[in-house]
Amino acid sequence: MADSPIQKLLDALDTLDVEQVMALTSPSASFRLMDGGSAEGSDGVRVLLAENMSQLRAARHRITAQWRQDDVWIAEVDATYELRDGAQTATLGRAFIAHFEPDGLTELHVYGDHEHPLHTDAGAQRGLVIGGHWIPPL
């Protein structure tokens, strides 16, 4: 969709620049992320974003479908991440639900099929990635 604010949000997220995301965000915004992290208000959202982005070397989000109902946008998104240690995720399905008002993004909920924080070692029990190749657990 032309002029999709959710595409602008994803583009800002992919820069890993907290202030680019904050420029799109209302001072009263609330965020709830797929790993259960949440924050309210500019200061809280800024801290939440900084904590999450500090774990990443790169992020890529691609909208596969999106809908709009009044001031709420819903997007199905394919996301891939490269962590600071060089580990890369497979493509992860995400659903972004974003409420936009004239002063910016007021509410964001992100749901996904990767529920633990990206920087945790939760995936290690399901195998390892060594030299870019997945090694199954014994």
Task: Evaluate if residue 126 carries a pLDDT over 90.
Answer: no
Render pLDDT for 39-88 as a digit per residue (tens, 0 to 9): 999 999 999 999 999 999 999 999 999 999 999 999 999 999 999 988 89
Q: Which residue has the tokens 């995400």?
A: 94
The residue among 54, 51, 50 whose CA lies nearest residue 21 is 50
Amino acid at 94: R
Mean pLDDT throughout 16-29?
A: 97
Q: Sort 132 into a burial class: Cβ within 10 Å, 0-12 / 13-18 / 19+.
A: exposed
Domains along the chain with CATH numbers = 5-135 (3.10.450.50)
Mean pLDDT throughout 6-18?
A: 97
